[in-house]
Structure 1
């Protein structure tokens, strides 16, 4: 997944987030975008097909409708994909999910963090680090823990 948030995908992701928030379906759209992102990551040829300039609008619309049905996408997400298709901006689907996820976490008062330690920490040690990050950021940290015996000691965040 690309994490380069240029102005265009950022603008589209914000608009989608506001529409989802207005419809009280922020979580549903988040799940939809994760499913789309996984689909595009797993099937690179599918992404290439969607971006093929030789593909007619009718065929592309049929493919997008089938994809929406297969993934059981929420109507807000479906309309958003239709908008991207209409504006010829489907390539933005590679970056929009990551930025939407960032907005989703921000709205929920959460932050993602990765912590690498030389040894496995007990639950008390993990709780201390979580409390420190929560105090420092003012948000609830969602930490992915990694053990790497090659670091000499301490931890890497």
Structure 2
């Protein structure tokens, strides 16, 4: 897998690559993936946790202690807990969200999957996700993992990013195109 250029170019990419390499060497990729999924969900649900991670006003030691307690509450594996502590000690908690996203991409590539980032105006149900996986899988010839996000500002439709390809079938984009065409 090629990680030397694009992924490792960013700070979050270097942290994610280091965590992935450690997890792979310890044969803990799935355990770390599950722990990061729990942490990602907790970040999405808790405004306090999101503020802790992004605020420069929280000291490194205080952030490390708070995240150690959070890791215990969430039941994170030891490798992930140690990694979060390293991010806190290095003052890099602001990179946590991007690091999780990049780690998920590396783990998916390791499993032979491709990750599609899907943005919709409303949450997709299981049947819609399954149909989207099947269509995208047929298009690229690999298993697809869907990373779904909700953004009401697209009004409707979907925006799908699969590798370097982007399919923008959102109503917002169609309305913008129509407005541009009407201007002449």
TM-score > 0.5, shorter chain as reference? yes
Bigger CA drift: 82-91 or 45-54? Answer: 45-54
CA contact (8 A) 2:13 2:102 kept: yes
Superposition CA RMSD, Å: 3.5
1:45 aligns with 2:48: yes
Equivalent in the alignment of 2:19: 16
Runs of at least 5 residues in structure 2 that lack an aligned partner in the other structure: 1-6, 119-126, 148-156, 158-167, 170-184
Are the structure 2 counterparts of residues 45 and 27 from structure 1 closer, same or farther at C-alpha, using a change threshold of 3 Å? same
Are the structure 2 counterparts of residues 142 and 45 from structure 1 closer, same or farther at C-alpha, using a change threshold of 3 Å? closer
Number of positions where the alignment pairs a residue of Structure 1 with one of Structure 2: 136
Q: Give 1:55 deviation, angstroms.
A: 3.4
Runs of at least 5 residues in structure 1 that lack an aligned partner in the other structure: 115-119, 145-149, 151-155
Pick the aligned partner of 1:101 from 101, 104, 115: 104
Higher relative contact order (CA 8 A, sep 6+): 1
CA contact (8 A) 2:133 2:146 kept: no
Are the structure 2 counterparts of residues 24 and 87 from structure 1 closer, same or farther at C-alpha, using a change threshold of 3 Å? same
Superimposed CA distance per residue, residues 99-129 of structure 1 (whole angstroms, 9 cap, x where no aligned partner):
1111111000011346xxxxx99x9x99984
Separation of aligned partners in 1, 2:53 and 2:145? 34
Are the structure 2 counterparts of residues 111 and 127 from structure 1 closer, same or farther at C-alpha, using a change threshold of 3 Å? closer
